[in-house]
Each structure stands twice: as structure tokens, then as C-alpha cells.
Structure 1
Amino acid sequence: MIHVTRSIVLDEDDIEISFIRASGPGGQNVNKVSTAAQLRFDLAKAPCLTGEVRERLERLAGRRLTSEGVIVITANRHRTQERNRADAIERLLDLVREAAVLPVKRRPTRPTLGSKRRRLEAKGRRATVKNLRGSVPSD
């Protein structure tokens, strides 16, 4: 069991990790060893997530979410399987923590009297500057 927040606990059986060959520099090691971790987390089969958290998580996952509803995270920052595995799990937990936070609802406000006054004064100054740019009357 992985504790994400007080109310959200992920079961380790819901997370599937496989190792693939990493791209990029690394010499002969990168061609021989599968060190990159690919984490797969099925949102539909995760009973620990509420509907609201699941919806926000789908939105936050973006292109990491497949059409089947599986989040795929590939971690290849490090040279070892253990560190890439830990990195992939931490990135999933960060996503779930971010989705668990309720968005703050916008409360409409009105402009203050001072801000209205400043805006109108600025408009007046700008209009004066533009009027002064006009052609000079000839006598």
C-alpha cells in the first residue's frame, strides 16, 4: 500500500512496471541493459480514487493517458532500474496528489473605486497626448 494523501491509498497491485531500453547517451550500456522504467496505472480499475479525483487526474495526465484510460509514465533519467522505478512511482504520486487538491472556485469581484478613477485618468492623459499630436493650425 502506497499512502498518497490521508484519504487516498494506492494498492501496489494496481501499478504495473516494466523495464525497457532507454534512448539517448550511455555508450554500450544503453544498448545492452533495459534500465528505463515504464509505469502503467489503470484509472478505471483503481477503486481508491473518487470520481472527482479521477476526472481531474484524467485532465492532468494529458498525453500520458491512453485511449483505454491507462496512465503511462516512462522514467529514464537515471542509469539504474531501481532509481528509474522510484522516479516513475514518485511522478505518479505527484500527479495523484495534484488531482486530489480541490480547485478554488472563482468568486467574481468588482473593480474598486480607486482603480476605476486611475483607469479614467490614464485614458484622459493618453487622449491629451494624442490630441497634441494633431496638425498645428495655420494663421
Structure 2
Amino acid sequence: MNIISNFVFRQSICLSTRHLLINSRTYKSNLSYDKLFPNSKSLDILSGPITAPTNESTGKDKFNGFIPTDKLDITHRHARGPGGQHVNKTLSGVEIRFHIDSATWIPDWIKPRFRDMYQSRINRDGYFIIFSDETRHRLLNQAQCLDRIRALIRDASIIPKGLSEEERKTIEQR
């Protein structure tokens, strides 16, 4: 009798656990976007594919800040430095590389200046390489790499001002 009641008890626990798992997929918190903003159309943005902004709004020869992640070679590896078991088990470090000449999202006039400014980060094959392992989270490290790439491209797009005639004269007098 004891074995039968034990079996029935286990089956009832399994059924209730299965019921909880099925119902937890449809559960929505009171703080979910659907309940907070029921008539909002901004949620449709998240469901569709992400497209690059057009250059007409920013100018054809300017970098608009959009970096297509499908054109990047993103690899994950172990982070460097001390940290114990977490560092040894997880691949939280992110390395991003892309070929400069085939990067269509960088305007052509920026590429030579970018290549000159950051020669130490470019390998023989023409790939720009950047690495981040500052946080414990892979996604944050990837976002940090993308922000660095964006900032470096913007730095390369700044054209230095030439010297004025007065500045040239003062330099010649020295």
C-alpha cells in the first residue's frame, strides 16, 4: 500500500509541475510592456527586422553610426586575468574583427584615414581587430566593442583644420 501511495504522490507532483511549466510560458507580469502600454505601436519595431538608417538623413559622406553585426566576425573567448572559476568556465571576452576594404557601412573617404590612425590594430590581411573583457557579461563586452568601433570611426572622420596665415607666420618667426 505504501508503494502505491508513493507512486500516486509522485505522479501528482509531476502533473502539477508540468502544468506550471506550460502556464509559465503564457504568464505576463503586470509590468510587461503589453499591459503598461496597451495601445502602443512601438512594440512592432521590436518584432520586425532591423534595417540600416539611410544616408540621406545624415549626409551621403558621413558615418551614421550604424554597424551591421552580420558583417562582423564576432568570436567569444576566455577573459584574461584573475577571477577564479567564473573566468575559467565562461567565454565572456568578445573579439570583433572586420575587413576594412569590404566594409560598405564605412564611407570610402574615411577608410584610408582610419587605416593610418589605427595601424597597430590592423593585421596583414586588412582586418581591424578589437577585444573587450572588462565585464563579466558577454553582451556588455560586445556592446563595448561596438561603441569603441563607432568612436574610432568618428575620430577618423574628423578632418583637422589647417593653420591660418597668422599661425604660419608666428611659426616661421620662431
Partner of 1:11: 68
The equivalences for 1:14-53 within 5 A come to: 14-53=71-110
Q: Cα RMSD over matched residues?
A: 2.4
* Cα distance in 2, alignment partners of residues 49 and 26 from structure 1: 37
Tell me the matched-pair count: 113
* Cα distance in 1, alignment partners of residues 78 and 52 from structure 2: 27
Partner of 2:29: none
RCO comparison, higher one (Cα < 8 Å, 6+): 1
Deviation at 1:15, TM superposition (A): 1.7
Matched, 1:67 2:115: no
Percent identity, aligned pairs only, is 24
* Cα distance in 2, alignment partners of residues 59 and 37 from structure 1: 24
Partner of 1:97: 154
Deviation at 1:2, TM superposition (A): 6.2
Aligned amino acid, residue 35 of structure 1 = S
Taking structure 2 as the reference length, the TM-score comes to: 0.58
Unaligned stretches of 5+ in structure 1?
120-139
Deviation at 1:51, TM superposition (A): 3.3
Write out per-residue CA displacement over residues 34-81 of structure 1, whole angstroms, 9 at most, x where no aligned residue. 100000121011123333300111122231111111110000111110
Matched, 1:78 2:139: no
Write out per-residue CA displacement over residues 73-110 of structure 1, whole angstroms, 9 at most, x where no aligned residue. 00011111011011111111111111111121233521
Distance 1:86 1:2, change over 3 A: farther
Deviation at 1:13, TM superposition (A): 2.1
Taking structure 1 as the reference length, the TM-score comes to: 0.71
